Chain A
Amino acid sequence: MKIVVCIKQVPETTNVKIDEKTKNIDRRGLGGVINSYDLHALKAALDIKNQVGGEVITLTMGPDDFAVSLQETLALGADKSVLLSDRAFAGADTLATGYVLGKAIEKIGNVDLVLLGQQSVDADTGQVGPIIAELLQVSQVTYADKMIAKNENLLIKRNLGTVEQEITAKLPLLATITETINEPEYTNVVEIAKSFDKTITTWHAKDLDLEDSRVGQAGSPTIVCSISSPEKVVKQGHKLADDPVAAAKELVAALKKQNVLAEDE
């Protein structure tokens, strides 16, 4: 099976602040790491490869130093990597990002399965997966909790809270992966050196068959007008009735209204 795993390099912590002067996110001194959900997606891909054979290709879009994260995926067991790097890609929102990733997957060719983490921990959107699926015109299964190959198909479980779905999916398919699906391995110390025997290919905008209007800022319908630190939520502290029974009634009604308790609880 030919599997592409899309990964994203994100700051090592999401505990970021706004720089008072530049009004931008202060990322000084922050290292990068692979988005944690994507590590679960990579592990899911490697597990399927273990099961049925094939090839795992990791793919990311970003500046050249994102190659570190691709190298890390090679040390973790991916077979090869593709870096999509071009000034033209800068300023892309999820739609423009999904478009370029989708075009790269078309160029890789004959891909059976595309996997992504359910979302990135910095932008928190979870949108890029379904966007790629739409561009590739393949079916999608988001938030996959379990995944195994069976015959020519994939058996997938999804936990939607109140219900669980068991899905038999034909290939090609795009799936996004939750963190409960597996326990990713740590990078083996010795494999880091060995990973340099594998290749990372860089593709620029000209290497892909792209419409200019759909790339980077031009291809991004959304515009960020401002960013801010959230105001610290001060708890309102509503005092309940003095009588315990009255207080309990009051609380249950309030929690139901807020949907913290279900109507029938």
Chain B
Amino acid sequence: MTVIKENWIFAETELQKINPVTYQLITKMNQISHDPVVVVLIEGQADKLENQLSEYGPDKIMTIKDDALVNGDDLEITNALNNLIKLKGTPNTFIFPATVVGRSIAPRLQARLRAGLTADCLDLKFEDDLLIQTKPSYGDNIMCEIIIPDHRPQMATARPNVFSAEKYDNPELTIEDITNLDWQKDSNLEIKTQVLPPKTSDDIATAKRIVALGRGDKTDPGIKTAQQLAQKLHANVGVTRPLTDLDNFTIDDQIGQSGQTVAPELLLNLGISGAVQYTAGIANAKVVVSANTDSKAQIFKYSDYYFVGNAQEFAKALEANL
């Protein structure tokens, strides 16, 4: 086994687009790595996705242009990546996005290579060649630092949207077409793929995006604006307790202590002051945006972004911008 001083990233694509998590991984690895950062890209013969990857400045992109492999199953991609390693050598690290795709292929390849793999990393750093991986456990209640001292590649899947992507013009960038890669087919699975339309959840408890309305915005036009914004965002509408008295909402729509606990990717609070009964229900929301006329509103302490002013005007402006 020849170990090469390179750090590889598996580029995830879907529907002939790069999944943005790939850019995040490139930026992160560029920041922490002394050795070349190499992206492994599987794409169709006619695709030019390497152009988009280039903007984020890895040191090298290895493209495998293969129409069959683009739609390959986990086993086939494992076979191909294993052969790529045989061809090019064993990289020091090999990072995958912690997506359904990455979390399915990486462990299979790990078992093939008998290497170590850490799941769903929230941070990565190097000590010389050793990758220090920070991994959450117990539903993010515990953080572990994990190393893989004696096996190469050091493998990890890294959680999307933890690292930010920065465009970077890398003068060293080279693109290599891998043309002679054989891989063994898996005839046991027949896969048909169809595109799903974006969809809102029927339940705010599982909704990915929520527009939440509070007492400060309970007028009819306020509600209408919020509903229009929600529609555009494919979001659900949630409310604080006072609004459950209105005909439009029930207790099922209520967020907070006596209502539902929510965990959306994006929560937009319109006219919500931030009483503890409400904030108890939003602790697991990822990105929180709040608009309120009161510049000292409690809710701002729970927010990533806040707007001081009329929530309805802000919601309208936001809708116009989408």
Contact = CB atoms under 8 A, between A and B. Distances in A.
Interface string A103-130: 0000000000000000001111111111
Contact of B196 (A133, A159, A168): A159
A224 B111 contact: no
B107 A94 contact: yes
A38 B274 CA distance: 38
A258 B164 CA distance: 6
10 closest A-B pairs (Cβ-Cβ)?
A221-B116, A134-B111, A248-B317, A127-B107, A125-B119, A130-B107, A14-B139, A221-B151, A14-B138, A139-B188
Contact of B307 (A227, A228, A247): A247
B161 A258 contact: yes
Nearest to B322: A265
B87 interface: no
Contacts of B161: 258-260
Interface of A: 11, 14-18, 25, 93-95, 98, 121-131, 133-135, 138-143, 158-170, 173, 214, 220-230, 235-240, 242, 244-245, 247-249, 251-252, 254-255, 257-261, 263, 265
B300 A244 contact: no
A130 B74 contact: yes
A156 B141 CA distance: 33
Nearest to A99: B111
Interface of B: 14-15, 20-21, 24, 73-75, 78, 100-101, 103-108, 110-112, 114-120, 132, 136-151, 160-161, 164-165, 186-196, 233, 265-266, 286-289, 300-310, 313-314, 316-318, 320-322
Interface hub of A123, A159, A220, A252 (most chain B Cβ within 10 A): A123
11 contacts: A121-B139, A124-B138, A125-B120, A130-B74, A158-B100, A161-B100, A166-B194, A251-B289, A257-B165, A258-B164, A260-B266
B116 A93 contact: yes
Contact of A227 (B143, B190, B193, B265): B143
A128 B104 CA distance: 10
B190 A167 contact: yes
B322 A134 contact: no
A258 B322 contact: no
A149 to B, nearest CB: 15
Contact of B265 (A134, A230, A260): A260
Nearest to B190: A168
Nearest to A158: B100
Given A122-B138, A236-B304, A247 B314 contact: yes
B310 to A, nearest CB: 7
A139 B118 CA distance: 22
Nearest to B187: A170
A142 B116 contact: no
A245 B317 contact: yes
A124 B194 contact: no
